[in-house]
Amino acid sequence: MRGSFRIPVHPPLATRSATLPVEGDEDRFVDRECFEFNQLLRPAWNDRRCEHCRHYLTARCPHIDEFLDDVEDLTPE
């Protein structure tokens, strides 16, 4: 039996817009002057959010204290 084979095509990953805040996200982690996109990520992920920055959670991040403060807030007491 012969038939056609169709490769599934998936739509591109949805990206978050830097202009539209996602529920629960805070604008303070978007569009900072120090943002440098991490080139190891797909270009579609360049939404100018800190989590996609080359300096995210590294000693080179000028705002690392803010991230560490957020992590400390999540620790159980």
Q: Is residue 61 part of a domain?
A: yes
Burial of 58 (0-12, 13-18, 19+ CB in 10 A): exposed
Lookup result for tokens 């978007």: 30
- What total number of domains does the chain contain? 1
Question: For the chain, what percent of residues have pLDDT higher than 90?
Answer: 40
pLDDT tens track for 3-42: 665 665 555 544 444 344 455 556 889 999 999 999 999 9
The gap between the terminal CA atoms of the chain, to the nearest Å, is 65
Whether pTM > 0.75 for this model: the answer is no
pLDDT tens track for 31-51: 999 999 999 999 999 999 999
Please report the pLDDT score of residue 69 as a whole number.
Answer: 72
Q: Is residue 39 part of a domain?
A: yes
Q: Is residue 43 part of a domain?
A: yes
Q: Is residue 7 part of a domain?
A: no
Q: Could you tell me which residues are beta bridge partners of residue 53?
A: 37
**Upper half-sphere CA count for residue 37 (Cβ side, 13 Å):** 10
Interatomic CA distance for residues 68 and 43, integer angstroms: 27
| Structural domain boundaries, residue 68 | 29-74
